[in-house]
Chain A
Amino acid sequence: QVQLVQSGDEVKKPGASVKVSCTASGYTFTSYYVHWVRQAPGQGLEWMGIINPLFGRSTYAQRFRGRLTVTKDTSTETVYMELSSLRSGDTALYYCARSLGDSSAFDVWGQGTLVSVSS
């Protein structure tokens, strides 16, 4: 069946980087965009960025530019989200999600990866 499976929870210290994976199955990997969305404790959903798996082009929300890198590995049908210079405010549940077009709905979501940043 169609699914996105994310890597496991992470605990990081301030200043470190984290790399979360999102592996697709059950559909044509290059036909759908993949987005990253996070939810900090007590906060709403926040869009971080998007990658076009066909061409590898990524676009990032303004507040994450310079710290966020989204890449893909077509051979393993996996998208990666790397966030650097972590701070306590980055503690959140991180989701990947797919959309058919860049303005389309997110019809399939990953299960979420908890990233905790603490000294």
Chain B
Amino acid sequence: SYVLTQPPSMSVAPGQTARITCGGNNIGTKSVHWYQHNPGQAPVLVVYDDSDRPSGIPERFSGSKSENTATLTITRVEAGDEADYYCHVRDSSSEHVVFGGGTKLTVL
């Protein structure tokens, strides 16, 4: 089955840039979506189709992708950005949705 690999955690100081990676075999051929999740609340879509941003999501959030890695970049990090972040793709061979394991972002 298809696997997405994220670092379990990362820390960044306020005002700095956080880059959260999502590795997967040939992920460059898939549409990658990113969610911000605070436990106990519904996840929020922050980037869709690799690099597009839903309305209401700050420009500080952006997405990019290479052959085997997708990256969510958060610039000028704020305390309110502290959350878990998940990447998501659909594996066309199995017709299943796959989530990465999630990355806990801590703002120092």
Contact = CB atoms under 8 A, between A and B. Distances in A.
Contact of B45 (A50, A106, A110): A106
Interface residues of A, number: 24
A95 B40 CA distance: 11
A47 B54 contact: no
Contacts, number: 63
Given A44-B86, A45-B102, A112-B42, A106 B35 contact: yes
B106 to A, nearest CB: 16
Interface residues of B, number: 31
Interface in B29-50: 30-31, 33, 35, 37, 39-45, 48-49
Nearest to B39: A39
A102 B99 contact: no
A2 interface: no
A46 to B, nearest CB: 7
Nearest to B47: A105
B96 A103 contact: no
Interface string A3-22: 00000000000000000000
Interface of B: 1, 30-31, 33, 35, 37, 39-45, 48-49, 54, 84, 86, 88-90, 92, 94-102
